[in-house]
A and B are shown apart, each in its own frame.
Chain A
Amino acid sequence: MDEEQLQYVTRPTRWTLFLRTFLPWQLWRFVAINLKMVDIIRRSHRNHSAG
C-alpha cells in the first residue's frame, strides 16, 4: 500500500482507539453487543413452520 492509497483510507481517531480498550466503556459495550446478538439469535431461531 503506497502513501497515495493511504490518503484515501478511513482510519480511527485516537479517541476511537482509546475507547476500544477503555474498560468502563467496554463493559457497557459487552452488555450492549450481547443484547444485539441475543435479538439476532431469537429472530433466527423462531423455527418457522414450513408450508
Chain B
Amino acid sequence: MTRVVVLGAGIAGHTAASFARSWLGPHDSVTVVSPRPDYNWVPSNIWVGVGLLEPAQVTFPLAPVYERAGIEFVQAAAREIHPEGEVNNPSPFVTVEREDGTRAQVGYDFLINATGPALRFDKTEGLGPEAGNSLSVCLPQHAAQTATALEEEVARMRRGERRRFLVGVGHGTCTCEGAAFEYIVNLEFELRNRGVRDRAEITWITNEYELGDFGMGGMQLRRAGYVVPSSIFNASLFAERGIDWITRAHVQKVEPGRVLYETLDGDEHEQAFDFAMLLPPFSGVGLKAFDRAGADITDRLFLANGFMRVDADYAPKPSDQWRAADWPRTYQSPDYPNLFAAGIAFAPPHPISLPHHSPNGTVIAPAPPRTGMPSATIAKAVARSIADMAQGATAPTHTASMAEMGAACVASAGANPLTGTAASMTVFPIVPDYQRYPDTGRDIERTFGEIGLAGHWIKILLHHMFLYKARLRPGWRLIPE
C-alpha cells in the first residue's frame, strides 16, 4: 500500500490528487491537506470582483467530491515536513494544524507540496483589504468585498461625483500582472455598461518594464508583416479605453486615498485614488522542515522566499546566461526522492523577465507566473511519476518543463455574450528558449494573441468546463488541463 499526501487543494494540488487517485491501485491511499474547505476556480474571481458572479459560483465544497472519489480530506494547514521521520519513527510525515490549533501527524510514502502562494500584503505598508487601504481579488471573499466597494463607487458617480480608480500590483516583485490586467479592463467595461464611465479616471500601475510583459518577458507576435512586441497591444487597448498607465513602479506604501511609489529611475511619486485594487507579492507558505534528529533543514528544502527546491539549476547567473535547461523537469526534491512540488510552490531558478533595480537598489521586475495551465500540467506529470514509482520505477517517469510546454490563456476584457471581448493568447514555450528559437525565444507560429468576442465565449466555456472537471464529474479526465 502506497500513501500519497498532497498539500494544497488549488489547481495544482487538486489536479495532482485527482490523477494520483485514478492511477494508483485500490489499496493505495491519497490524502489532501488543505486549510480551506472549498475549491476556488481562481481565474473567475475577476468576475466576482466586478459584481457579475457570486463567490458561490466560483467555489464548491471539497469534502463531498473527495468522499465520492475515494480521496481522504484533512482540513488543516501543513506546518512541517519531516522527510526522515523522527528518532523513534523513521517513516516520513507532515505535521498539520487544524483550525482549532490542534496538531496531528500525517504519514506519507510520497508527498506533493502544492501549497501555492502566501499572499504577502505585509510586504508593502498599507497594502491589502484586511489591514490595509487597498482591495484584492486573490480570494473569493476579497473579490466580493471589492465588488461591494465598486458598487459604492458607482452609486457616487451616479450622483455626479468623479472617482479615481487605481488597479495593478502593489510591490516591485509581484507576479500575476495578467489577473490585474483582466480586472482593470473588466472594471472599465462595467463602468461603461453602468453609464458612469465619463466620471471615472482609471490608471494602471505595474512593475513591468513594458506593458504586456506579464512576468514572461512579454511576447513577440507576427502581425501585418512584422514581428511586434505584445506591449503594443496592451498600450492599444488602454489608449482605446482611456486608461492611463504607470510602468516600472514599486509601490512603497498605500495610504488612505494615495499610493507612494518608486520608479526604476529612482524617483519617488504619488498617485491619488478613491478605489485601489492592487495584487500582493507572493512567497511560499512558510513550511518548515526537520531531519530525523529534529534539526531544522528548512534551508535545504526551500529557498529564502519559501518556495521549494526541485530539480532546477539554482546557481546564480547573469541573465545572458539563463538557459531553458535551468528550469525543472520532474519537480522532484534533490534531497528526498519521494518529495515533489507542483504549481506555485516550486522555486523557479530565476525570473523570466529581465531583472531591473532602481539606483536605490529596489528590485522592480515581475516574478515568473506559474498559475493555471502550467500548474495543472506539472501536477499531472508529478502524479504520473509517483504512480509509476509506486509500482517500482526508481525515478520520475514524466516531465513538464515550463521551457518545453506552452500555455493557452484567455484574459477577459469585458463580460457580455454579444458585446464582450477577451484577449486569447498562446505562447510556446512559456520560458523562452533562445537556443531553439534564436530570434524571439519562442515558436512564432504558435505564439499569438487576438482580442474579440470569440475569446469571451471561450472564457465562459473554460469557466464551466474547468469547474465541471474539478468536481470530478463523469468524463472529467477527457477535459485537458
Interface residues of A (CB under 8 A from B): 1, 6, 9-12, 17, 19-21, 23, 25-27, 29-30, 33-34, 36-37, 39-41, 43-45, 47-51
Contacts and interface: CB of A to CB of B under 8 A. Distances in A.
B408 A40 contact: yes
Contact of B452 (A6, A20, A39, A43): A20
A47 B406 contact: no
B414 to A, nearest CB: 10
Nearest to A43: B406
Interface in B309-347: 329-330
Contact of A44 (B240, B406, B418): B406
B296 to A, nearest CB: 31
Interface string B41-74: 0000000000000000000000000000000000
Interface stretch (B109-117, B174-182, B443-451): B443-451
Interface of A, secondary structure class, is helix
B446 A50 contact: no
B250 interface: no
Given A10-B232, A48-B329, A48-B401, 6 more contacts: A21-B421, A21-B453, A33-B455, A36-B446, A44-B405, A47-B400
Interface residues of B, number: 47
B426 A20 contact: no
Contacts of A30: 454, 457-458
Most A C-beta atoms less than 10 A away, residue of B232, B399, B418, B454: B454
A50 B399 contact: yes
Top-7 shortest CB links A-B = A44-B405, A30-B454, A29-B454, A37-B408, A40-B406, A26-B453, A9-B239
B395 interface: yes
Interface in B224-259: 232-233, 235-236, 238-240, 244-245
A1 B452 contact: no
Interface string B389-412: 000000111111100111110000
B108 interface: no
Contacts of A19: 452
Nearest to A19: B452
Most B C-beta atoms less than 10 A away, residue of A10, A23, A25, A43: A10
Contact of A41 (B418, B448, B454, B480): B480
Contacts of B452: 19-21, 25-26, 29
Interface of B: 232-233, 235-236, 238-240, 244-245, 329-330, 373, 377, 380-381, 384-385, 395-401, 404-408, 418-419, 421, 424, 426, 428, 446, 448, 450-455, 457-458, 480-481
A1 B244 contact: yes
Given A33-B458, A50-B385, A43 B453 contact: no
A35 B287 CA distance: 41
A43 B405 contact: yes
B236 A10 contact: yes
20 contacts: A1-B245, A6-B239, A9-B235, A9-B239, A20-B452, A21-B419, A21-B421, A26-B452, A33-B450, A33-B458, A36-B448, A37-B408, A40-B408, A40-B426, A41-B373, A47-B399, A47-B400, A48-B404, A49-B398, A50-B398
Given A40-B407, A44-B377, A29 B450 contact: yes
A47 B426 contact: no
Given A1-B245, A20-B452, A48-B399, A9 B406 contact: no
A30 B244 CA distance: 30
